[in-house]
Amino acid sequence: MEPDENLIERTLQGELTAFEQLVERHRAIVFRVAARIVGPDDAEDVTQDAFLRAFHRLDQYRGTATFRTWLLQITQNTALNALAWARRRPTETASESPDAADRDPIRQPATALEDRERQQRLELKLRALRPEYRSLVVLRDLEGLSYNEIAGVLDMPIGSVKGRLHRARGELIELLRNNTYDWELPA
């Protein structure tokens, strides 16, 4: 597989097919991070915007971090900007709607339905976290990035990443405890 750095170099020389390969290679993680920060409805727009920004700033990529880290930094910033804009328009509340678990009309075994319902409830609670905390939980607990890479994405020291992540998880735990649904979270 051709390294990202080669593809970047070729893109900078005007080869759009090289950039297309970069998009194809990283689109899954960019989309997942975007979707989990802004929600599924706006995730495609944020993903597209992040890649466009990356393309126009590609000459500023210095290679001090991996391309993925650099791209996720752009994605994270784009997603937070999108949320800031969205605050101006009426937003969906993070409370659990009674039909939140009934979006899939296909009949499924009870356990699968229950899992689906728990997943949707957890997604809503995750989106109720303040955006900065949400990013941390997404990058660490859902995407499994190292503390070092998260520090690069968020441009903060590793110690701050750990401290904020601890507070983010604590806030999410409180949100879940205040919920009617029993998440079985010990004290």
In the complex, least distance from residue 180 CB atom to another protein, rounded to whole angstroms: 16
Closest by CA position to 134, among listed 167, 95, 158: 167
Tokens of 111: 């356990």
In the complex, least distance from residue 110 CB atom to another protein, rounded to whole angstroms: 16
**How far apart are the C-alpha atoms of 113 and 115, rounded to whole Å?**
5
- In terms of C-beta density within 10 A (0-12 exposed, 13-18 middle, 19 or more buried), how is residue 85 classed? exposed
Nearer to another protein, 40 or 63 (CB): 40
**How far apart are the C-alpha atoms of 81 and 46, rounded to whole Å?**
9
Nearer to another protein, 90 or 170 (CB): 170
Nearer to another protein, 53 or 90 (CB): 53
CB atoms closer than 10 angstroms to residue 76: 26
Contact with another protein (CB under 8 A) among 81, 108, 146, 160: 146
| Contact flag: residue 115 with another protein (CB under 8 A) | yes
In the complex, least distance from residue 64 CB atom to another protein, rounded to whole angstroms: 19
Site string for another protein, 19-58 (x = CB under 8 A): xx--xx--xx--xx--xx---x--xx--xx--xx--xx--
Interface segment toward another protein; rule CB under 8 A; list 64-72, 77-85, 99-107, 112-120: 112-120
Count of residues in contact with another protein, rule CB under 8 A: 43
CA distances for 143 relative to 28, 69, 150, 169, angstroms: 11, 12, 10, 15
| Contact flag: residue 105 with another protein (CB under 8 A) | no
